């Protein structure tokens, strides 16, 4: 069975993310471990970590079903050495927070070279940060998320994801997350099953399906190649339900977390139900 659920809230305690996911009929979820728009956060206490782990056990969630997302402020491609060091320190803290909770997947955006570096140099800079983070932590896996490609951001092409992996000394702990909205608006048209298969074949050729460790299932408000990162509820955008139904029934993606970041929380239960059990079940809700 596929692992499917939304990115849930930690308001009121880290364990609340698991409780919300379970209430929506999910068997996986995404989460932050701190406020994603702040640099600093107090350490996770032993009591918080224990309650989180106990809640996962009670609700039947396993570590591999949870895809943590890091802070939006972190830019591991920053060309300024002082700002890069700050980003690296914050990223290492994020990895340690994941490990403190007994989890093992940390999703992150590769960042932006701010127009001051060429793509190859910027990708090597990201890889250097990942290598240092891996050397200073224990076991958590680092999951690069593709981007829409606006401005000077990295990661909008599968070639760039491959560059980062190839530049790392520790690529065994590094994989990728494909965000469907980001891929579509970056130019990999996903608006039909056939076009999705063209895109996933390209990813397989350049990166490898063994390096696909998660997906974000989001429809897109804007068109293919628009480079606009605007998520839509499933079926309301320019990708459409047929692609999402296909992903959720494809055994190639059965063992990785498929996380919804769609914009209307009131529809999450119906989206999860359709993805997990098919469109007829969703219509009966």
> Could you list the active site residues?
37, 69, 72, 109, 145, 179, 182, 216, 229, 231, 261
| Predicted pLDDT at 111 | 97
pLDDT of 185: 98
| CB-based burial, 228-267: b 16+ in 10 Å, e otherwise | ebebbbbbbbbbbbebbbbbbeeeebeebbbbbebeeeeb
- Strand bridging mode 231-232 / 219-220: antiparallel
Q: What pLDDT, on the 0 to 100 scale, is given for residue 282?
A: 54
Show the low-confidence residues of the chain (pLDDT under 50).
Answer: 283-285
Structural domains present in the chain: 3-283 (3.20.20.150)
Give residue 256's pLDDT. 98
Is 253 in contact with 203 (CB distance < 8 Å)?
Answer: no
Query: What pLDDT was estimated at residue 7?
Result: 98
pLDDT value of residue 285: 47
pTM: 0.96
d(CA 122, CA 17): 34
């Amino acid at each position: 069975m596929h692992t499917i659920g939304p990115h849930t809230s930690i308001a009121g305690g880290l364990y609340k993310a698991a409780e919300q996911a379970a209430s929506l009929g999910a068997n996986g979820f995404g989460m932050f471990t701190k406020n994603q728009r702040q640099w600093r956060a107090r350490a996770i206490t032993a009591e918080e970590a224990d309650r989180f782990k106990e809640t996962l056990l009670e609700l039947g969630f396993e570590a591999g079903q949870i895809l943590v997302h890091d802070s939006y402020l972190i830019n591991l491609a920053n060309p300024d050495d002082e700002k890069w060091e700050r980003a690296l320190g914050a990223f290492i803290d994020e990895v340690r927070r994941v490990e403190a909770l007994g989890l093992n997947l940390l999703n992150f955006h590769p960042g932006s070279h701010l127009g001051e570096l060429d793509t190859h140099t910027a990708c090597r800079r990201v890889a250097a940060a990942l290598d240092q983070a891996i050397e200073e932590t224990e076991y958590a896996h680092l999951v690069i998320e593709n981007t829409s490609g606006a401005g000077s951001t990295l990661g909008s092409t599968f070639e760039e994801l491959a560059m980062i992996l190839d530049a790392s000394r520790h690529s065994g702990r590094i994989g990728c997350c494909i965000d469907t909205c980001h891929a579509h608006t970056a130019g990999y048209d996903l608006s039909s099953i056939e076009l999705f298969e063209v895109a996933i074949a390209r990813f397989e050729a350049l990166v490898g399906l063994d390096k696909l460790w998660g997906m974000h299932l989001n429809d897109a408000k804007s068109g293919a190649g628009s480079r606009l990162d605007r998520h839509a509820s499933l079926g309301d955008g320019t990708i459409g339900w047929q692609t999402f139904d296909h992903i959720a029934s494809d055994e190639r993606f059965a063992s990785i977390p498929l996380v919804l970041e769609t914009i209307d929380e009131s529809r999450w239960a119906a989206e999860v139900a359709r993805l997990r059990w098919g469109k007829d079940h969703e219509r009966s809700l």
